[in-house]
Structures are given as C-alpha cells and as structure tokens.
C-alpha cells in the first residue's frame, strides 16, 4: 500500500527547514502538535457523498457536495491559536425534498469562522459564534421556503421549530465540529505506535440531523507501516453490534417516545414507562441495528497541518427480513501547489 502523501506533496512554504518539529520519539511514540505561525495559510478540498443502501446491499447516491476550505492563522499566543476558516466553490446537490435551489444556496450567508485551538492545535471553540448565529438567523426565510416545499404551509409550527433549531448556536457548533474538527482530532495527543487505544465517542445525528447524541465504542491506532518522520497515519473506528445498539437506540428515541406516549396516557409516568418498555421489547425481538465509522488521517509532523482525512459511515436497520441503510463517505485533503 502506498503512503498517502505520495500523491499530496505539501506546500513548500510550510516545509521550511529549521522550524521546531515533532518527530518520531525514541520511545516509539508520535506526538501531534501544531507548529503554526501567524500568516500561515492552507487550503483543503472537502467532498461528501451520501447513499441509500437497499436490501441487496446496493447503494444509490442521494446527495453530493463539495467545497474549498481556507485556513489562515490570524492570531497566536503561548496557549492558543486563532484560525480564520472560510469557504468557497460550494456545490450541493441532493435527491431529497429538503434541498436548496441554486439561487437559495447563493443567497445563504457565508461568514468567516474564527476557530480557537489550544497551543497544540486542539479545537476549543468558535470565537465569533454570536456573529455567525445572527447571520444564519437572518436567512430564516430561505430555510422556511425549503421546508414549506416538503411539509406544506399547514406545518408552520413544525417549520418554525425546525428553522429555529438549525440556526441555533448549538446547531452551528455541531456543524463546525462535524466539518472542521475531524482534522484536529489527534492534536495534542502523544500516541504509542505499538498500541491500540479504546475510546467512547459521542455521535450526533445518527437518526437525522435533529436527533440527539449517543455514545459509541471504538478504538484508534497509528498505522506503523505508513508512519515515519515525515508524517503520522492514524486510523480510527467506531462500531456497535446488535447488543450494543439496543441501549444506544433507546437513549436516542426515549425522549421522543416520552413526548408521544404522554399524549395517550394522560401523563401518567408509570403508564409512559410501560409503553416505552413494551416498544423496545418488540423492537428487540424483530429489529436489529448496525453501525460502523472508519477514518484514516495523515498529519504532517513538522507543521501539524493535516494532509488527508478519509471517512466512511455505515448505518443499517433490519426488521422482519427487510434491511435498509445509509452510507456517508467524506474526504478532506490538502490542496497542493500543482492544483492551485
């Protein structure tokens, strides 16, 4: 297997000899640290594909998007960096009813995001979250039109609630965490290249963008065959089998089921609990869920800039002999001088 960076020569300006650098440690560990300076700039191409999976395992593409993401270091202290992140060349097409026209997409705000990290490059927060939230809330009429085309004018209360949710500070923060922070996931970590690490990680939106977070088990490890003094290649997997998915699905669905059950049980807590338990007992007998995330990231050790990140998510649901699922594939890769 060829090393990932063989087709991604890093920007020459970021490879100036003499900078402090994180090399392979004598004790077989590798440390991921940001060695950035104010004025550093890198660009990434971000690609995303979504697929439906049918009972035979065939995949049908339902959505495709791409964009160029620009990173610039605009401030640095002994304990933090501030990254200015902007987007352009935005492309989005999907077969679902919830889709934007080209005119609507062009009308959406496209603010700069000021991302704060610690001194190692690990994500800490969004410095201008209030400003970004106001920009997206000003676009509420556009989002309302998108939902009206699918739900209809009779669903105004539902539409208002959906628009309020997707333009909230929490939703914007979740979007940034999903879009940007995978590149910074390992920053600050010192990793033994001979070990695998067990983790439990929150996963958002397993049953749609508005569904709550759940915790998934998994692991990560350094691919020692592809890691050297130039870069580290780190693999990560999250997965859950039938037994693990039962309580996970319950944690996601229970808040919604409590609301629905209360409408039919006069709010009696004992009746609500019995109704929910009965629902999950039935599901356990006839339904199975499976979940798997896998990713691989290559990080340039001398600068701490990511070179390439690839990700796949598979979620399948089987009930009464029928299986359906979703597949999400993403890649974020450094734009080279040859591509500019």
pLDDT confidence band for 60 (50 / 70 / 90): very high
When pLDDT is averaged across residues 138-149 and rounded to a whole number, the result is 84
Q: What's the alpha-carbon Rg for the chain, to the nearest Å?
A: 22
pLDDT tier, 159 (very low <50, low <70, confident <90, very high otherwise): confident
Residue by residue, what is the 3-state secondary structure of 65-118? EEEEEEEEEEEECCCEEEEEEEEEEEEEEECCCCCCCHHHHHHCCCCCEEEEEE
d(CA 84, CA 178) in angstroms, rounded, equals 17
Domain ranges across the chain: 34-48+65-187
pLDDT at 340 over 90: no
Most confident listed range (95-99, 163-167, 205-209) = 163-167
Which range among 82-86, 155-159, 184-188, 258-262 shows the weakest confidence by mean pLDDT?
Answer: 258-262
Highest mean pLDDT among 101-115, 204-218, 254-268, 270-284: 101-115
Region 140-146: mean pLDDT is 85
Contacts of 280 (CB under 8 A, 6+ apart): 246, 250
- Prediction pTM value: 0.78
User: How much is the pLDDT for 148?
Assistant: 81
Q: For residue 254, give the H/E element and its range.
A: helix 242-262
In the chain the beta strands, taken as DSSP E runs, fall at 29-31, 41-53, 59-76, 80-94, 113-118, 123-126, 190-192, 196-203, 214-222, 231-240, 287-300, 306-319, 322-334
Residue 337 corresponds to which tokens in the numbers above? Answer: 């001088």
Give the span between the Cα atoms of 306 and 293, in whole angstroms.
20
């Amino acid at each position: 297997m060829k090393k990932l960076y063989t087709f991604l020569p890093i920007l020459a300006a970021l490879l100036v000899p003499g900078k402090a650098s994180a090399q392979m440690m004598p004790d077989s560990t590798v440390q991921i640290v940001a060695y950035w300076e104010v004025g550093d700039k890198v660009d990434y191409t971000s690609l995303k594909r979504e697929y439906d999976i049918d009972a035979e395992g065939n995949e049908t593409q339902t959505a495709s998007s791409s964009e160029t993401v620009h990173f610039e270091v605009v401030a640095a202290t002994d304990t933090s960096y501030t990254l200015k992140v902007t987007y352009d060349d935005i492309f989005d097409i999907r077969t679902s009813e919830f889709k934007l026209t080209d005119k609507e997409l062009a009308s959406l705000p496209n603010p700069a995001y000021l991302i704060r990290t610690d001194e190692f490059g690990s994500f800490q927060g969004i410095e201008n979250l209030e400003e970004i939230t106001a920009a997206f809330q000003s676009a509420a009429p556009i989002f309302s039109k998108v939902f009206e085309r699918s739900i209809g004018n009779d669903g105004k209360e539902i539409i208002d609630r959906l628009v309020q949710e997707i333009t909230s500070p929490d939703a914007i923060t979740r979007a940034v965490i999903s879009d940007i922070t995978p590149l910074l996931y390992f920053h600050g970590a010192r990793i033994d290249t001979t070990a695998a690490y067990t983790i439990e990680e929150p996963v958002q939106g397993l049953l749609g963008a508005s569904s709550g977070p759940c915790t998934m088990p998994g692991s990560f490890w350094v691919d020692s065959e592809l890691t050297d003094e130039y870069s580290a290649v780190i693999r990560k997997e999250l997965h859950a089998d039938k037994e693990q998915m039962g309580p996970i699905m319950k944690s996601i669905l229970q808040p919604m089921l409590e609301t629905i059950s209360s409408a039919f049980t006069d709010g009696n807590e004992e009746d609500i609990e019995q109704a929910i338990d009965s629902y999950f007992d039935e599901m356990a007998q006839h339904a199975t869920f499976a979940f798997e995330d896998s990713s691989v990231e290559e990080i340039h050790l001398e600068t701490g800039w990511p070179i390439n990140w690839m990700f796949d998510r598979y979620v399948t649901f089987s009930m009464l002999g029928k299986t359906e699922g979703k597949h999400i594939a993403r890649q974020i890769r450094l734009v080279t001088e040859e591509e500019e």
